[in-house]
Structure 1
């Protein structure tokens, strides 16, 4: 390495793990002898577990998103707008694909970024399992843009139904929505839809209410929310049905058409909107990862230090990492809490690597799972030393802990002072913001 050249640490992906790591490295090293670079195809960051609220209009992402350029200026790293294309490990380079605007004009040309150390944190996308018709007919909730698109289509369908009822009061017009996947995303979205329907009456759709929603949740497994204990999953099931959701378990979708979903038992679920939320897989990398060892699902296989199994200079964390730790019978799950913990371990190990000290192993601590059924209910389980094992939680306590997860994310991304200020501002915003974002 050239003596006067800065040590260049490149982070691909500005999600929860990547953005937290960029902040910590930038704050620790600054720009004098180190060049911390964050690459992302988006200009802003939104916490992925909130996308179902963005999709229904319950959350205005413009108020909660983080602009990478202002964030990097504050914390001492550089942000590059671009689409990750491939790695050249021999040359220690990341290749960036060209980016184009809506009219097809090139905004960012293809280029390369060198690295001394590389951290892959490019996340995951929804897994359609190759089901026919899903790509063409279903909506996904992997990004802010997809959530915005869902909200626009939802509002358009609600407006059509409202106008049909005004024109003919006896009309049985409904907004039919099919959600595939009974995990946290599908369940939370189903409940949030009814919260949005209740609020629409305040914003010009006086004749529209939740009775005009026809929501079906399809889950291929024997029950929804497999990460939760049976009792809590049953409680959530009951809450959804009380709202009006038709919950169908043991119901595998075999095809999506323009009119709705076909299931394995020959049934057909008609739908105006179809949302696919049935599992995730590592986001595809168009040009490949130059021989890095990958799992069957395309994740980068990492050692306990979070270094790639193939290359000591490359780390992976978050949803794109396959981490099988000792004394665990399954890989670390793709959850926000895992991403946060991995970012902390990656930060420690990069510091140790640069100081030529032994690295530490990642130790995943499962703090439990929480699922919010909008303002109607929250259920979950807490695990760890705090409760001495595993404890089922519901109601206000569960809601408090659920909201605390986002507060912890704000502190991790913005630091204690600014994060605490943003938490305080968010309480004020709840009083002055509209209940729904309608544009």
Structure 2
């Protein structure tokens, strides 16, 4: 049987493994599989990465949204193996998976080698600190559920401590300083969405009595961006509309400020400003995981992404494909590559499902073309803003408010439908609504 190996269980990788398993795998002993499909990921569970800012703000309990890879594999006819990709032998068509180690139980699984006929790399991205002094040591990134949960717990602890700490004296005629200051470096989608969610979290924590601080004036939120405006990857009018909404929520916007140093309780910018920061979140950029540059001489770009052709095959090996954030894929008619967005990973997974079917049949592979349907940014329960493009409306339209929120929530529901089908997606949506109606809006512990 043909052996498919997919490394990385993010949005694109898990969708591809699920659909390949449905098509070629087997969930019954009575049905022989047509191909062997294996998914590899370092974690045992999957969560849609665009939700991590909600986990950090406490507005989403990750344990109600996580999906176990082993269960998905059993339901959809593929195999799951947990571990890190640490090596690649292209000549032997073999990858090496590192040992699985538990910090309490020790080594659970030894180092393993797996052979493939088609390898798909979909290992996503990691935080780019740009060499800023102290950034990695004193700030929290939002790459994983663990990091998001760490920030949430530190925020609650900071609120409880600040309540019993005497406020700083205020100069005559001056404005009082926030008792807690959260600084978010990077005003892309993650930073903007987190700033809005945190404002809601401050109100809820106060309402439930975890602190008696004024949620708007005692808890400050500063959003720092090196570029001239927030959401630099989106259109000007989307950026302006979002900036106006954030200002109304009391978020301080600091644009044109490049961070030069991060310390335990402050941030220093290149212009000489010092910004107090009791908690710092780093959301300033992404890069591909370092392991890609060590895999059998596969060419990478300056961000460490694998250079791929429009077939999503790597430039030097037709048996190795890459998709999602770790792939530098050409975008015809544009100077830049396909952007690292969830919609791109979803499109590439759908493309590869059909392209790999042609590969099995010995037919030439088609070329992938990215279709930009626009971008949406959630501002929590306050609002949402974005633009719709292309085939959806035949043009370009700014949207905000209730309709934008509905469209934003639909993105995640479409991801759930891709993994489980539409009937189960409807049931999951209803179950999620029931949980939300019987639980606090924010996780309180």
TM-score range, shorter chain: over 0.9
Q: 1:301 aligns with which of 298, 303, 307?
A: 307
Structure 2 distance, partners of 1:352, 1:267, is: 57
* 1:139-158 correspondence runs (5 A): 139-158=140-159
The farther-off stretch of 335-344 and 370-379 is 370-379
* 1:419-434 correspondence runs (5 A): 419-434=425-440
* 1:239-258 correspondence runs (5 A): 239-258=245-264
Q: CA deviation at 1:173?
A: 6.6
Q: CA deviation at 1:104?
A: 7.3
Q: Residues 287 and 279 (structure 1 numbering): CA distance in 2 closer, same or farther, change over 3 Å?
A: closer
Give the equivalent residue in structure 1 for 2:231: 225
Q: Residues 226 and 172 (structure 1 numbering): CA distance in 2 closer, same or farther, change over 3 Å?
A: closer
Q: Structure 1: which 5+ residue stretches go unaligned?
A: 1-5
Structure 2 distance, partners of 1:52, 1:196, is: 12
Give the equivalent residue in structure 2 for 1:15: 10
How many residues are aligned here? 431
Give the equivalent residue in structure 2 for 1:198: 203
Give the equivalent residue in structure 1 for 2:339: 333
Structure 1 distance, partners of 2:444, 2:82, is: 29
Structure 2 distance, partners of 1:236, 1:121, is: 31
Q: CA deviation at 1:224?
A: 0.3
Q: Report the secondary structure of 1:411's partner residue.
A: helix
Structure 1 distance, partners of 2:305, 2:138, is: 27
* 1:353-372 correspondence runs (5 A): 353-372=359-378
* 1:236-315 correspondence runs (5 A): 236-285=242-291, 288-315=294-321
Give the equivalent residue in structure 1 for 2:115: 114
Would the aligned equivalents of 2:292 and 2:306 in 1 still touch at CA under 8 Å?
no
Structure 1 distance, partners of 2:73, 2:263, is: 44
Tell me how large the CA RMSD over aligned residues is. Answer: 1.8
Structure 1 distance, partners of 2:90, 2:211, is: 60
The farther-off stretch of 315-324 and 210-219 is 210-219
* 1:149-188 correspondence runs (5 A): 149-164=150-165, 174-188=179-193
Structure 2 distance, partners of 1:286, 1:159, is: 43
Q: Report the secondary structure of 1:23's partner residue.
A: helix
Q: Report the secondary structure of 1:191's partner residue.
A: helix
Structure 1 distance, partners of 2:159, 2:313, is: 49
Structure 1 distance, partners of 2:326, 2:141, is: 18
Q: CA deviation at 1:150?
A: 0.8
**Deviation digits for residues 179-216 of structure 1 (CA, Å, limit 9, x no counterpart):** 10011100110111011011112333251342221111
Q: CA deviation at 1:136?
A: 0.7
Would the aligned equivalents of 2:292 and 2:305 in 1 still touch at CA under 8 Å?
no
Residues 1:98 and 2:99 are matched in the alignment: yes
Structure 2 distance, partners of 1:10, 1:417, is: 28
Residues 1:207 and 2:212 are matched in the alignment: yes
Structure 2 distance, partners of 1:260, 1:399, is: 34
Give the equivalent residue in structure 2 for 1:216: 222
Would the aligned equivalents of 1:13 and 1:121 in 2 still touch at CA under 8 Å?
yes
Structure 2 distance, partners of 1:65, 1:104, is: 23
* 1:68-107 correspondence runs (5 A): 68-103=69-104, 105-107=106-108
Give the equivalent residue in structure 2 for 1:412: 418
Give the equivalent residue in structure 2 for 1:435: 441
Q: Report the secondary structure of 1:312's partner residue.
A: strand
Residues 1:41 and 2:49 are matched in the alignment: no
Q: 1:377 aligns with which of 383, 399, 408?
A: 383
Would the aligned equivalents of 1:86 and 1:287 in 2 still touch at CA under 8 Å?
no
Report the TM-score when normalising by structure 1: 0.95
Give the equivalent residue in structure 2 for 1:3: none
Give the equivalent residue in structure 1 for 2:29: none
